[in-house]
Each structure stands twice: as structure tokens, then as C-alpha cells.
Amino acid sequence: MLSNRVATTNAQARFKVDKDTWPPGQPHSFTPLLLVHHEGRQRMDQAVEVAKLVHRGDVTSLATEQLVHTKLDDHAQHVSKVTKEVTKILAPLEEQEEPQFIMIEGAPGIGKSVLLREIAYRWGKQQLLQTFTLLLVVCLRDPIVQQATSISDLLLSFCKGDRRAKEIAAACGDYLFENGGKHLLFLFDGFDEFPEHLRENSLIGEIINRNILPLCGLVVSSRPHASVSLRQQATIKVDILGFTEEDRSHYIEQSLKGQPQSIEKLTRYLQDHLTISSLCLVPFNIVILIFLYKMGIPLPSDSSSIYHHFICLTICRHLVKSGRPLKNSIKQLADLPEPYSKIVKQLSKLALQALNNNQLVFTYEEIEAACPDVIATPEAINGFGLLQAVQHFGLTGETTTFNFLHLTIQEYLAANYIITDLLPDEEFHLLREQFWSNLHANMFSIYVTLSKGQRSSFKKFLSGGDDKIAISREFLRQQLKCFRLFRCFHDARDYRMCKSIEEAEIFNKKIIDLNSTRLSATDLECVSLFLTSSSHKQWVGLYLLNCYIQDRGLHVMHKHLINNGVTITNLSLFNNSLTSSSSSFVSDIVLSCKVEVLVISGNHKIGENKELYTMLTHPSSMLTKLIMGNTSLSSIAARTLFTAVKDTNQLEWLNISDNDITDDVADDITLLLTTSKSLVRLWMNANPISGEAMIRSLQALRGNNTIQELIVPSYPPAIEDRIRSIEQEINTKRRSQGIQEKLTVRVKF
């Protein structure tokens, strides 16, 4: 395996980080995680399938289970899979004739880089992807990579060069260029760390856009906020969701093997701390939590405490390993004696300045200029274990760059610096300029939690520039901002400020309207936390139309909303990216929140799962209106739906337009129209039901006096005339029986 990431050293190779400094001991070298997998040339933010990978150590030992749905249209074949093998996700790279582009998305610390390295490792061990002669793991934050202008430049960055390195790189580059990159696989790690101005006009940008090496295989990892532009190009999209709760428990058991009391204590702690429990579905966070537990540190109560204790312990441990142990343990970074306190302050200042400039990688010279005491103190050369060094090989020879162990560590240090060292005016200016930036979102969340929301600059910012405690209407005009602020204050336990958000005028009508707003799983957690933690429990509507919600986001909502006393009369999830895997979540939310009107149209595969329809016949169901057009409702699933509607006494409106219902269920439609006692409106247009089958079903309405509106597909004039005749006959009969409600049959494409 070729890699440009090597053992950690400083630029002069004088001081080496001890092998035990990082990471803390883990039970497995690689642990498979919960993945979402979809392939096919369609909008990648629409249809995805959940692949639940069982966490049992070695991914190669996992059994395979596939559920394949194939649908042909004029241009493409869309295939969704449920799989328990990572190799199934990679299989199209070898099986498809056309070059494949796999995009891997996930939150910070979720395991994107680890997955890419595992792929490279197993390729090197000849366990997979052997049709590729050359595999290159390219770290996109690498300045040598960013500066490369030719394929030979890029290849040279992998060579610990001798005198022939340039010659060999040039020859290989010419060969790859001539054959279009065939049998070459790129693993591009960290697209979110690749500067925006280079995403189009750079060698890497040209490769990703298929202008150079069009025949190569591509696997690109990124945080979701940065990869929107790539989703149209990707043929396969994989979301890494982290641990399931069951698999997290398994990880804890393996990490604390032989310590049943410790396992029970940590499990109970996570059950009692929902926010921490959610955070620990991310592998990076559960590793830190177990590390803190093993070190005897009191378990944290909020997210910032996890990182705070971890940083303090990492510094102390590194000093011990360097022969400079502290006399007393430290509870705050400010408690460090000199020169260590000054060094941490310099690192924190660098962390903030770098975030403001979207910089994640530093040269030795930049570290020397920003943190002179780091360079002057041998045991601090790697920032007490908070920095890692990476060697690069390029045209100018061997160089070394530095970056923080993880972006979250950089964000924590930056937040801490704002609180401890920025002047009030500087702090206020930074808040005003960057608070709503996606790049700074996690940093400011840590900032508010650390300061308990009590900073005078923060209050001034929220009040619109005045030194008031109340939040200005500027921020309370947008509901999503309110939810994000509520989460910050809730984490900081400032319930007075939470109350002021609850009482904002924008919530007076008890409606949450986030239509056409791109919502991440974190945003949906903020919304759910507001719904369950505020004093308002009864809502007229929750409208989440065109919000790009995926299964993971709905799973987050499900976990918060179930059995928490929240009622939502109208729930709209129209035109998102939910699949059949979300069916049980939708059903549970509808029942628990006493939903009366549910709109799930436009979620192209959610109608496939028959589990969805259990909500209709449940004794506690209050659903009166179900709108589910364009949900891939097949005849098989429709049969289950019609049976459920027939057995319910409260559903009044059913919209199943634009689905895949055929004549196979004509008898079921007839039975539904004959026996239903509550259905008033039924929309069935844009389904491939023949005119003869529809007429047979309509004849059943002669014995039904409840249905008032029926929308059917468009048919030839002769069929439509027969439909009108049946409609007229039924209305004549109703008038003769003194029934005022007439039947209206409408034809619609």
C-alpha cells in the first residue's frame, strides 16, 4: 500500500511521539459501522437504503443479506441494497464497466478516514479490489497534494525519493495519463478539508470532475456540508452513521472486558444522559469517554466536558512520558504551570486563527511563528500530544506539516481561547461575523456550553448589539436559529434563556415550518430537543417539506419523540430522502405523537415497507389523512395498505397517486370501496391501472354512501364516458335515499 502518511516526527526528526500516546487502547483494529448505501444514477440525496453492519470485530467474518429493488426508467437502473459486508459497497468498482465514483459522507470522528485506510490495507493484503494495479490514498488537506499541477507531482508526494524518484514519477504519470487512469483507484480523504477555490481549478478538481484520468476509480470522503456539489456526480453514496446503540454496548463490553461492574456503571450513565449517549454513537467520542473512565475521571455531563478532560489528561500523560510530570493534576487549562500554560494559549490562538481562515494544516515555520514556546520546549514539540506531524515528499524534497489530532480538538481550543483571551470587542466582532457559519458551528456550540451562555459579548450579540439579556427579534425570526440556540442553552443548563426562546412570537401559532431548509441530523436533533424539552407539548403542525432528510435524521427524531408527551396534529415529510427503512420510525412517531394528518409523498421508496401500515389499525391511531403519492407503493404493499384502511374507522382521506399499483389489486380496491365506513376521499391517479379494472372497482361504490371524492387516472374517452355514467347513477341513487353528500369522480394525469 502506498501512503503519504508516516510515523510522527518533527521537522528535524529529533523528537518522536511515544507509540502509546495516541490513540488509547481499543479492542479491535477495525470495527464496521452502521452505513447507508445507495447506488444508481439519480439524485443521491433522495433514495438511500440502510445497511446495518453487525459490529463483531472483523468485517470479513460478517454474513451477507441483500434486499435488492430494481427500477428501470428511460436512462438508468437504480439499485438499493441492504448489506452486511463492506465489500458489497465496493463491488461496483470492479463489477461495472463504467468508472465508478463512490462518495462517503459522515460527521466528525465517525470513521471516514479509518474506513479508507482499511480499504487500502485490505487491497495491500490482496483481499479486495485486485483489478486495480495501483491504489493511492490521498489526504486532501496535504499542501503538497493541493499544490500538485501534474500527475507526476502527485505521484512524487508518495515517494521517499532517491535520485530517480522524479524520473520514475514522470514516467508513471505519462503512462497513467495515456491510458486514462485505467486500473488506478484514488481514495481521496477529506474533501471538506480541500479549499473551495481548488475544487474546480486544480489537478484534484480535474480528476474528480473526470476531465483528467476519466477511467480511474474514485472514492471520496467528506463531511456532508462540503460534498453537496459532488452528489450529482457520484454513482454510489455511502453515509457512515457510526454505532448503533446495541453495537456501542458491544464496544463497551469489549473495551472493559472482565469488568462487569464498570460495564454496568457506564451503561447506566449513558441511559441517564441522552445528549452524551447520542454523542457516543460517534466512535471518536466513545473512545474518549472510555479513556476518561479508565483514568478515573468523573464522567462528563455535557459534550464540551468530554473534550476538556481528554485534552487535560493528554497533556498530563505526555508530560509524564517526557519525564516532566506535574506535581498536581489540572482541572483547567489555565492551571498549567509555565511554560506549559503559555504553550497551550499559543496553540489555542493558532487554532482560532486557523479556523477563521479555514486552515487545518500548518508548516513547521507557521508553528514556529505562532507558537515560539512550542519549538523552544522539547517536550511540547507535538503540542503535548495534541498535534500530529505528517511527512510529505514532493518536488522540493521532504517536508513536514502539522495538524491537530482531530478537528474537534482544534475547535475546543479555539472556543476556550475566545473565552479566556479575546477582548470583549473582538469576541463580539467574531460572533457577529461567524456565529452562523457551518465551519464554526461546532466551535460556537462548545463556546456556549463552556461559558454557560453567560458571556457579556454573547448576550450583546444575541440582543442585537445592546447590553440586554433578552434575545433580539433578529434571531427569533428564524425557527432553525431558535432551535440551534435552544440546544446551546440547554447544553449549558441556562433554562431561563431556553424559556425566552420558547416564548418567541414565531411559535405563537404552535407551528414549526422549516420547508425547503436543508436539515442535517444534528439540526433535527435540535428540533426534537426543543419539542421534548420545552413547556410547549401540543403543536398544530411540524412541516419539513423539501428538507433533504435521510433515514438517519428521522432515526434521531424517533429516539427523542417516542413516549415524551409531544402531540403533533399535522406532520409533513413531503419530498425528502426517506426509504423503506424509515417506515417503522414514521409509524412509531405517528402513534406516539397522535398525528392526525401525515404527508410522506415524494419519499420514493418508503411505501415499499408494509410495516408502515401498522399505524392505521393500532388502537391508539388518530390518523385521518394519509398522503403518500410517489412512494414506490407496489401492488403487494398496496394490498396490505387496503386491508389496513378497510379495518380502520377513522381514516377519511387517502392519496396513493403516482405509484406502481396495477390490476393485480383491482379486487382489493373493490373490497375497500365496498366495506370502508370512514373513507371520504381516495386519490389513485397516475397509477398503471387499466380502464376495465377501474370500472369494475367503481361499480362497488353503488353500495357505499361515504366516499365523496375519487380521483382516477386519465383514460380514453370511451372509458371516461362509462366512468361518468357510473358516477351519475350513484348520485341519482343517493338523492333518492335522501343522502346530500354526492360523489365526484375526477380524472387526472
- Mean pLDDT calculated for residue range 351-380: 82
3-state secondary structure of 135: strand
Q: Of 455, 449, 514, 458, which Cα lies nearest the Cα of 487?
A: 449
- Mean pLDDT calculated for residue range 228-243: 74
Cell of 718: 370511451
Query: 225 in a domain, yes or no?
Result: yes
Query: 200 in a domain, yes or no?
Result: yes
Query: 747 in a domain, yes or no?
Result: no
What per-residue confidence (pLDDT) applies to 708?
Answer: 95
Which has the minimum average pLDDT: 281-295, 338-352, 413-427?
281-295
Residue the block writes with cell 511515544: 18
CA angle 536, 280, 483 (to 5 degrees): 25
pLDDT exceeds 80 at position 490: yes
pLDDT exceeds 50 at position 58: no
- Mean pLDDT calculated for residue range 326-339: 74
Which of the two residues, 69 and 401, has the higher pLDDT score? 401
Q: Which long-range contacts (CB under 8 A, 24 or more apart) does 376-381 make?
A: 376/339, 377/339, 377/343, 378/14, 378/15, 378/322, 379/318, 379/319, 379/322, 379/323, 379/324, 380/339, 380/340, 380/343, 381/10, 381/14, 381/15
What per-residue confidence (pLDDT) applies to 474?
Answer: 67
What is the C-alpha to C-alpha distance for residues 309 and 297, in angstroms, rounded to an integer? 8
What per-residue confidence (pLDDT) applies to 656?
Answer: 95
pLDDT exceeds 70 at position 730: yes
Total tally of structural domains belonging to the chain = 1
The neighbouring-strand residues paired with 599 are 572, 627
- Mean pLDDT calculated for residue range 415-440: 89
- Helix, strand, coil percent content, the chain, rounded in steps of 5: 45, 15, 40
Query: 312 in a domain, yes or no?
Result: no
Cell of 307: 473534550
Task: Measure CA of the first residue to CA of the last residue in the chain; give whole Å.
Answer: 57
CATH of the domain at 90: 3.40.50
Query: 586 in a domain, yes or no?
Result: no
What is the C-alpha to C-alpha distance for residues 467 and 461, in angstroms, rounded to an integer? 8
For every residue of 373-434, which 3-state class applies, written as one string? Answer: HHHHCHHHCCCCCCEEEEEEEECCEEEEEEEECCHHHHHHHHHHHHHHHCCHHHHHHHHHHH
What per-residue confidence (pLDDT) applies to 139?
Answer: 85
What per-residue confidence (pLDDT) applies to 678?
Answer: 92
- pLDDT of 67-119, one tens digit each? 222 222 333 334 444 444 677 778 888 878 788 888 888 776 677 888 888 88
- Mean pLDDT calculated for residue range 222-249: 74
Which of the two residues, 151 and 41, has the higher pLDDT score? 151
pTM, two decimal places: 0.62
Quick check: 3 and 120 in contact, CB under 8 A?
yes
pLDDT class of 393 with cuts at 50, 70, 90: low
Query: 35 in a domain, yes or no?
Result: yes
What per-residue confidence (pLDDT) applies to 654?
Answer: 96
The percentage of residues in the chain with a pLDDT greater than 70, rounded to a whole number, is 82
Q: Of 46, 39, 35, which Cα lies nearest the Cα of 78?
A: 39
Q: CB burial class (10 A; 0-12, 13-18, 19+) of residue 680?
A: middle
Query: 474 in a domain, yes or no?
Result: no
- Mean pLDDT calculated for residue range 290-295: 80
Helices 303-321 and 407-421: crossing angle in degrees, nearest 10, is 100
3-state secondary structure of 660: strand
Q: What are phi and psi of 50, to 5 degrees?
A: -85, 130
Which has the minimum average pLDDT: 422-426, 446-450, 543-547?
446-450
pLDDT class of 134 with cuts at 50, 70, 90: confident
Q: Is the dihedral of CA 30, 31, 33, 38 positive or negative?
A: positive
What per-residue confidence (pLDDT) applies to 50?
Answer: 26
Residue 190: which domain range?
28-242
pLDDT exceeds 70 at position 66: no
Query: 744 in a domain, yes or no?
Result: no
Alpha carbon of residue 163 to chain centroid = 46
